[in-house]
Chain A
Amino acid sequence: MLKIDNLAAQVEDKVILRGLNLDVKAGEVHAIMGPNGAGKSTLGHVLAGRAGYEVTGGSADFDGQSLFDLEPEERAQAGLFLAFQYPVEIPGVSNMEFLKASVDAVRASRGQEALSSMDFIKLAREKCQAVDLPQDFLKRGVNEGFSGGEKKRNELLQMMLLEPKLCILDETDSGLDIDALQVVANGVNALRSPDRAMIVVTHYQRLLDYIVPDYVHVLAKGKIVKSGGRELALELEKQGYGWIDEEVA
């Protein structure tokens, strides 16, 4: 589904990704771990097409199409979803309006009819419940004044509404209490399916107790330096990342 080959990228002349490879097939869940500043969020931003992130080499194919040929909104419409590490606050636009605009756009690109306002509101309320967000969050400005945990749940809510093919979750677990973690994990697990793939960026192995990955990768200094199964996450939790310097000189 997603094939990243030797990807290199930079921001404002600062090289961040240096030859990154990753192959994600439908139905798989990949976890990416790695020290702060390694480039995990950058990877997400580059894949989603954030302005200012310059791809300097390599390729990324999504369902056989080169991602870098697409505008950010086209990528989203094609089914790529990035749950932001730091969701953006947009005062003045209600969450509901935002969600509807987004769902309409994605549905239109799939040739689906727009949902009527009534149907949409019903759906949104349902999903709200699923992620344990009170319904008045739909009326508030997008992420405006939401707590850290609420923002993360709002990301999940959007993911559930858009039903993407590939979900990239950037530290969706950070800042969540145990109950919220459970909620997020349930949401993600509910979306797991043979034709959907997930990339879960996290610092904590505990999330992987709930969302069991097929593969675990370590991203450091702009590349994947180690890959393995679940057990790699446990190992990392014990050892930290000190060994990287020795191994990747």
Chain B
Amino acid sequence: MDLRGRAAICGVGEVGPFREASDRTAVELMLEAGRLAMVDAGLEPAEVDGLLVAPLLVGAPVTLPSMLAEYLGLSPTYADIVDLGGATAAGMVWRAAAAVAAGAARAVLCLTGEAVDPESFYTRGVRWPGLPLPEFERPYGPMGANSGYAMIAMRHGYEYGTTDRQRAKVAVDQRQNACANPRALFYGRPITVDDVLESPVIVDPLHLLEIVMPCSGAIAFVVARPEVAREGLHPPVYLLGFGEKVTHSMPSHAPNLTTSAVAYTARRAFEMAGVEPQDIDLVSVYDCYTITVIVTLEDAGFCPKGRGGPFVEEHDLTYRGDFPVNTHGGQLSYGQPGLAGGASHVLEAVYQLRGEAGERQVRDCQLAFVQGNGGIMSEQVSLILGVEP
């Protein structure tokens, strides 16, 4: 389905991020973000007739959409859960747009959020009976996603010569962006390449400062028909193209650990939008680790395959730079509030395209490329968002 210009993001809500959830639950955080998104869209609950919900990492109950719909005062004609790990939020955007284009709903509220439980980080999902991950991977001591991305970085270094310093540059530039985003967890704390390289190696070759920090928070957005969005309180942000592909779950089963499905999803999205990588003003791509950004930039076509390391070294990735990437700080510096971490890239694209990014506003920002990535480069969703339909 060609969804170019068929729907727009017209409301966003952001709660946190917080280092600690204190006594707030994930559900409470998600509901608050949902309320803020509807207020931002200028819509009342009776006008919102679609609901997409992210699962909670700690284990969501069944029928979560109806529970949250009831709480929010919605009676949706379209309700579902989207479970694509870090690609969930980007996956929600095109699903909501497809629902809108199909006439299943006029305005779809999308909810993501988490109240983090650091204790469960490496061990959640241990009880899945009959699924391969706990049986064939956990006995060998993987370190959650950390070891998966470390193995990507190791192989990328072997195949393309990508260095520690090149990966560190991603963390440094994104931290500079976070220093212009008061909401970022690491606001006001700039770092240097040496700081990254001197931080402890957690899983070779990844250093502590190349690894995302789990935290609490929630992000919600409203995707609506263009005529609904145009009556809103802010300029609509149109979906112009998307692509999605799921290639594996365990890293051992990736067709190729150094070339991801972004190569497919980005091409689809660019073709649908009728634009090229060089037309993009803002790159807002999933960054659970530094290597993720490098592989994504290559596979999306912003630089030749294998040249991601030199590319990030040669370009200024800050909001003032020649190639702005993750101007909110990325998850590496904003924080990763569960599946809302992947929503932070959508949210930042909306702020930038609306011209509401404040100090970190990218000049004349018309087109944004967003990438959601789940698991170990397992689930990929590309989006092209723009100010014109």
Pair from one complex: no
